[in-house]
Structure 1
Amino acid sequence: MAMKMLTMSRNSGFENECKEIHDSWGRLSQLVRALVTRTRLERQQIRETYKALYGEDLVNRLQKEAEMSSSNNRNEAFVVSPKLCAALSMFMLEPHERDAVVAREALQQSDQTNYKALVEIFVGRKSSQIFVTKQAYQTRYRRKLDQDIANIEPPNSYQKILIALVASHKAHHADVSHHIAKSDAKRLYETGEGSYISGVIEEAVVLEILSKRSIPQMKLTISSYKHIYGHDYTKSLKKGNSGEFENALKRLVKCIHNPPNYYAKTLHGSMKGTTTDKGGLLRLLVSRAEVEMDEIRKAYKNKYGIELRDAICESIPSGDYRDFLVALATK
């Protein structure tokens, strides 16, 4: 549905914007696009101004609206979409706050831990960002993220890889080395497809490399592997009987090596219901909208022959929530 733009002046502070937001509860479609067009800094300023004026965190207000709209105690004429309110509240969070919330939800899923969400955080963020995310996690939940990952039950290959990624951010080095990349690529080959027992991966060696290298360094190692041996490292993982560790490693390597392609596949799976990661669509659109959405759109079109916005329109029922997702996808 068509949405009106709020008449927000960028030159008079954010008091007028906050007043219009405050007066528009029940008509959230009017402010969706206005918030989407704002930069992260502007959204932060709107949130701070709103709290100063009304004594309430805008994110908390959106969450309350979602809860009230989910109940049957309100006049239907004033009920707004709970999904839209929840989506807007996630969008208004600072990136490190959002990652803390996503990490906690991933760890607390009733069926199984959402490893994809956790991998995206530890692969797609700089070490400085991971540091503030862990601080936000501890402040919000009175728990340590590293410890919660280490305590995942039952222990499994995805957990081992996550623990290695946590360590890699603690041992982060800003510069990348071609010499180290070539050396690591050789070790991966010798402990994988080049070993006497073809197709059997020496987990300890892989985990050691992961725990000691930054994500940019690992990306260079993966590129070096292809340059030296003529094919992607993930191809070597498919030559043997892929077990849980190999499958987890393939997912990680794809996310490190080509993030836009990886995210495009995740978005597609979330929309088409071919994955249990049902929250992947909103999570990725919100977290990557201001990072690499152009590249993700191109990767999606190349992979599936359809524009991302059109795929969203085909998969999500029409309404304010879909309009919000489309706005993020075209941001």
Structure 2
Amino acid sequence: MATKDPASTTLSISCQNDCKEIHDSWGRLSHLAQALASRSKHERRQIRETYKEMYGENLIDRLQITQKSGKKGLIGIFSNLCEILLLWMLDQHERDVVIAREAIEQEETNYKALVEIFVGRKSSHFLLMNQVYAKRYKRQLEQDINDIEPPHPYQRILVALAASQKAHYVDVSQHVAKCDARRLFETGEGRAGSLDENVVLEILSKRSISQFKQTLSSYKHIYGHDYTKAVRRGSSCEFEEALKMVIKCLYKPYSYYAKTLNASIKSMVKDDGALARVLISRAEVDIEEIQKMFKKKYGMELRDAICERVPSGDYRNFLAALVTSTST
């Protein structure tokens, strides 16, 4: 007779206890959030599955109902504790779908949130995300981005990045990187006038994210400075400004996210959901490296900055617990 694995049994009992605590804590979301902040993505997935077995109810659906019932009067798409808790309980590709949809539906499109998804995910993840988006909203993500009004250069860059996600190259070519770097130079700072937008979009659309990163490295090696400095030398048109932001997120993500977090904490930008969005999205990806960069750039720990600058309350406590649990 097969015997049960003691570790598996212990985990199952622990998960059942978590589910019971969740079920009994709907009136105490702050308590619930503190408990879930320390759970890994695998533990959170198991909690979702066990909760449905125990109570016959989808935990995500329950959170969505609770979130919608209390949404009136809120400022920002992640201001409600229930809403950020909902994002935390979703799998990453599901979470990206929600973030992308919210970004598109805002009165002023949140292109930064979209760029973070498009440059920070693998092709396999992007495929899953597109499937979930189509199933949930009966629309195509790329088409929704194309349909945004008024038109903006970010749209053209995002469409190119969507095409690059379909470039399934296993190996990164040094030769291709050098050729692309020279082409960027010759159609940018190597000629009079502003850079050739069509060349940039073509390279972005035909190369994988990893290949384009290598192109940026080759550009610096050949010409002695980052490509963003070459872009900065041109006119400050909307396309060039958008391109610089995309490259910073793609090529120097730790610095980009540290700066984004600091600006959001200090309320220096309109994107008041960036703090929760970045912490939740990067918590199980590269949050430790981002925290190190944050301390290097701003002279203090990220958790201390959150506790010092964000108003006290359940929202702050959850984010502080999230940073603490994911960096241990």
Instruction: State the shift of 1:67 in Å.
Output: 3.6
Q: Distance in 2 between matches of 1:261 and 1:49?
A: 39
- Which secondary structure state, in structure 2, belongs to the residue aligned with residue 192 of structure 1? coil
| Cα distance in structure 2, aligned partners of 1:93 and 1:32 | 14
5 Å-filtered alignment, 1:32-111, equals: 32-69=33-70, 83-110=80-107
Q: Percent identity?
A: 60
- State the Cα distance separating 1:16 from its structure 2 match: 2.1
Does residue 224 of structure 1 match 2:224?
no
Counterpart position of 1:265? 259
More deviation, 30-39/176-185: 30-39
- How far apart are 1:29 and its partner, in Å? 2.9
| Rounded Cα–Cα distance in structure 1 between residues aligned with 2:157 and 2:69 | 40
2:279 and 2:323 in contact (8 A); partners too = yes
- Structure 1 position 147 matched with structure 2 position 180: no
Matched, 1:291 2:285: yes
Q: Which amino acid aligns with 1:325?
A: L
Give the 3-state SS of the residue equivalent to 1:12 in structure 2.
Answer: helix
Highest relative contact order (Cα 8 Å, sep 6+), 1 or 2?
Answer: 2
Query: How far apart are residue 307 of structure 1 and its match?
Result: 1.2
Segments ≥4 residues shifted beyond 4 Å: 69-72
CA contact (8 A) 1:32 1:324 kept: yes
Q: Counterparts of 2:284 and 2:40 in 1: how far apart (Å)? A: 8
Matches within 5 A, 1:119-138: 119-138=115-134
- Report the alpha carbon displacement of residue 71 of structure 1 after superposing the two structures with TM: 7.0
Deviations 1:56-87 (A, max 9, x none): 22122223233444579xxxxxxxx9721111
Check if 1:178 corresponds to 2:174.
yes
Match of 2:5 in 1: none
Contact map agreement 1:50 1:57 (CA 8 A) in 2:
yes
What are the superposed Cα offsets for residues 254-305 of structure 1, whole Å, 9 maximum, x if unpaired? 1111111111111112122222211111111001001000110011111111
Residue 48 of structure 1: how far off its partner (Å): 1.2
71 and 259 in structure 1: CA distance in 2 versus 1, 3 angstrom threshold: closer
Kindly state the Cα deviation for residue 26 of structure 1 after the two structures are TM-superposed.
1.5
1:130-161 deviations in whole A, cap 9, x for unaligned?
00000110111111111111222222211110
1:154–1:215 distance in 2 versus 1, CA, 3 Å: same
Counterpart Cα distance in 1 of 2:146 and 2:70 = 37
Q: Letter of the aligned partner of 1:48 in structure 2?
A: E
Deviations 1:206-229 (A, max 9, x none): 000000011111111111111110
Contact 1:218/1:256 (<8 A) preserved:
no
Paired residue type of 1:32: A
Q: Normalising by the residue count of structure 1, what TM-score does the alignment of the two structures yield?
A: 0.90
Are the structure 2 counterparts of residues 212 and 70 from structure 1 closer, same or farther at C-alpha, using a change threshold of 3 Å? closer
Aligned-partner Cα distance in 2 for 1:265–1:174: 31
Asked if 1:159 is matched to 2:155, the reply is: yes
CA contact 1:66–1:82 (8 Å) conserved in 2: no
Instruction: Give distance in 2, aligned partners of 1:313 and 1:95.
Output: 26
Moved more, 44-53 or 20-29: 20-29
Q: How many residue pairs align between the two structures?
A: 312
Asked if 2 retains the 8 angstrom alpha-carbon contact of 1:69 and 1:82, the reply is no
Residue identity opposite 2:37 in structure 1: V
2:321 aligned with 1:327: yes
The one-letter code matched in structure 1 to 2:42 is: L
Relative to the length of structure 2, the TM-score reads 0.91
> How many Å separate the matches in 2 of 1:54 and 1:48?
10
RMSD of aligned alpha carbons: 1.8
Q: Which of 161, 165, 169 is equivalent to 1:169? A: 165
**Structure 2: runs of 5+ lacking an equivalent:** 1-9
> Does 2:305 correspond to 1:308?
no
Q: What is the distance in 2 between the residues matched to 1:159 and 1:64?
A: 32
Shift of 1:11: 5.1
Asked if the contact 1:36–1:327 (Cα under 8 Å) also holds between the matched residues in 2, the reply is: yes
- Give 1:56's aligned amino acid: E
Residue in 1 aligned with 2:15?
A: 14
Query: Which ranges of structure 1 fall in alignment gaps of 5 or more residues?
Result: 1-8, 73-80
Aligned counterpart, 2:184: 188
